[in-house]
Amino acid sequence: MRLFFAVLLPDDAIEALKRAQEELQTTINEGGISWVRPHQFHYTVKFLGETTPARARIAIEAAEAIQEDLVPFRVTLGGLGAFPNRERPSVVWVGATEGGEELARSAQLLDDRLGQVGFSKEKRPFTAHLTLARIKTYAGEVAAARLLKTAHWGDLARVQVDRFVLMRSTLHPTGAEYTVVDEFPFRGDTGC
């Protein structure tokens, strides 16, 4: 099974992202752009890829082991970015204008723990991002790059992050379908 850890969003944040995505869709109307369905918006914390049931159990135990070390925090969704860069975008995303450091620290803690039990460690630094679109053609790339030069988004929504989820991704011809496998509420002391 294909697995990843993620932070899911509440409905109001999904609605705000959906409106922002619709604004992009009216600006970039070239073909060759695959728009993420709003109910699939999430922050990927750690991608595991194809995983056997036995390895999935080990990943779950690793996530459970760090729950006491994680405290809830807030993330403000905002800013528009692209991978690999704004000049040659293959992915267009919304970042985190606040709380990105906490999300990165939480992702690092999970990555470190998973590394201790045999999963591959991330080679690139963590970038908090919510994918809005994947660019499939050169025409789409040119249009997205043009938009990224002029688009400046402010904050879209603010969310409380108080858990990771382990998601299963099942690939279909119409796109991926995501299912929650397990949840890991943050149980660390907030000091209040």
Q: Which residues are catalytic, by number?
A: 42, 129
Closest residue by Cα to residue 130 from 73, 87, 186, 75: 75
The label of the residue with tokens 């993620």 reads 6
**Residue that has been written with the tokens 């728009």 in this structure:** 35
Tokens of 44: 């990927």
CA–CA separation, 60 and 62 (whole Å)? 5
Structure tokens at 86: 């704004």
Residue 174 in tokens: 């119409």
- Residue 99's nearest CA partner among 36, 5, 191, 7 is 7
Question: For residue 108, what are the contacts with CB-CB under 8 A and spacing of at least 6?
Answer: 126
Q: Is residue 67 within 8 Å of residue 187, measured between CB atoms?
A: yes
